Structure formats: C-alpha cells, structure tokens
Homo-oligomer: A and B are copies of this chain.
C-alpha cells in the first residue's frame, strides 16, 4: 500500500497509534515533575510542569504543495509559516514562546529571498511575542520550511475531544476569506474594487486568534481547534475526536461581504471548504456561550450545535430547510480534490 492510498490522515492515525502503543521508555521529565497531559492527536501536545502547561507544535510548507511563488511572495511565506503554528497554540488557549526554523533549500535559492522570508517571520513574531531561537538549514531539491513552536498556558488547554451533545458551535470570525483569496489568484477572477485586496490579504496574512483563545479558556470553554483545513472538515475532526456529530446552519455561517461580492454563488462552498482561515472553532453549553460571545475581541458567531449522532458527521441545514452531510470534505494533499459526493451541493 502507498501513502496516497491511505491518505494523510489515515497514515497519521496509523503512525500515532504505533508511537503511543509501543512507547515504553523511561519518562525523563517525571523526576522533575513533568507530566504529559495532551498526547498526539490534538492541535498541540501539552505537558504540565511545576509552574505551567507547556505546548509544543509543528507545521510545514512545501513549495508547489502548500504555496507557489505566484500566490505567495516570500515575505508572506515567512508570515504564514509562523501563523499556522501560532494558530495551533491559540487553539489550546496558549501564548506562543520559542520557535525553531528548519529550511530545506535548493542550492540556487537566492539569499535575498530567504532574508525577505525572515522579514515576514519577524513581523508576525514581533506582533505575537515569538522568538526564533534556533533551527537547521539543509540542502533539498525542493524548498520547504518547518517551524516547531512552543507555548505556555496557565490554565486548562482547550481540546478537540471534549465537545458534548447540547453544546453550541462557534467560530471567531468570517470563514472562507483565505480560500477566496487563493481562488481569486489561481483563477484570475475579476473582483470588485477592495474585495480583491481584502481576500488576498486574508490568504497571505492570516491573523492567528491568540487573544480569542485566551478569552475562551478563561471563560470556561473546554473545546476548540483552529480552522486550517476548512470549516466542514475541521468540525468533522473535532466531532470525531469527541465521539459526536454536529449540525450547522448555512445562514449562520459568517461570510464576509467582500467574499460574497467576489463569489456570489460560491461563497458558501468557500466558507465551508476553504482552508487556512486560522480562526478558532469552539463548542460550549449555551450558558457558557452566552457569556463568552460578547467578550471576543473581533466578533464571533454561533453556527450550530453538537448532536449525539455518528462520530465525525457534520450536517448542513440550508435556507430551504434541506439537510446535507458536508464533512469531511477538506483537502488531503495526498489524495487531491475531495470525493464528488462530499462537496457542497
């Protein structure tokens, strides 16, 4: 069997299972009071120390797979490579701290391009309080960048596995704008003035929801993850991890007016299936949700509810009262486009 037959998430599941089941060594952190509290499978790993919960995550971009020079200038490659990692820390309710940067470089890579990329990393790092403290540079036939990032959290990390039937489902902002920006650039679609700029920025300069994650954790929300692969797909993953299903309402999914203006007939599809928004998806009982929503700095929306249905199922109720299964329909880089039956009608 080849990796493309099993898919990214099938392979991850199989290797995580090996790594956890066959783990048998000494726990070197134990004598110092370290205790692993979130194992492989959530947005980040986490362990308690005597003073805090520490978070640990990694994310990679490969040229030609995750970006091209046409859609993403080097400075934005730098920004995005950090943003996706910071977003994972945000999804736990934590603050990002230290980063290691690994570059895989063809020998003819321009030094000036790498400096420009570092400028983008420094811009987001200085905004979010991340310090690059090391890394590795290797020769590679294809450009790639891997960031490993630590974080800290002084309470209980937000998890994917704690959603319960009766919870409401929320998102911390407009979904689909990053996917709209990408489609605009790939298809060279014409867009109304302002919309093109807004959508391109949403794709190239996503703003991880660190402040929002802190608010959620402090307000007693237990369940969250970041939207990196698309709302429907990520909600399905959250539901699967929690052993529940979800129903969301098309009319409640927040779509930015600029996305609607540029893609009047495709904006819902982009909102459900477009990735890299780096918003937070979260669930909580209605009374917690009512308290937390007004506190979220950039607005948020309740889009549906958690049900005791088949684990991982996500249903979409449209404005005509019809209900469609929509997840998982996200992007799997090994498999290409989602199966036709899984796309939004």
Q: Give chain A's interface residues, CB within 8 Å of chain B.
A: 1-6, 8, 11-12, 14-15, 18-20, 22-29, 32-34, 36, 39-42, 44-45, 47, 49-52, 54, 56-62, 64-66, 95-98, 100-102, 104-112, 114-115, 118-119, 121-122, 125-142, 144, 146, 148, 150-152, 154, 333-334
Is B136's CB under 8 angstroms from A59's CB?
yes
Copies of this chain, whole number = 2
Let me know if B140 and A58 touch, CB within 8 A.
no
B-side contacts of A56, CB under 8 Å:
98, 100, 133-134, 148, 150
A27/B142 in contact, CB under 8 A: no
B25 x A128 contact (CB < 8 A): yes
Q: Is the CB of A4 within 8 A of B107?
A: yes
A132 to B34, Cβ gap below 8 A? no
Q: Out of B42, B115, B127, which one reaches A25, CB within 8 Å? A: B127
Closest B residue to A11 using CB positions: B137
Which of A27, A28, A105, A114 has the most chain B CB atoms closer than 10 A to its own CB? A28
Is A115 in contact with B3, judged by CB distance below 8 angstroms?
no
**Which residues does chain B contribute within 8 Å of A44, judged by CB atoms?**
134
Alpha-carbon distance A5/B134, docked complex (angstroms): 22
Question: How near does chain B come to A102, taking the closest CB pair, in angstroms?
Answer: 5
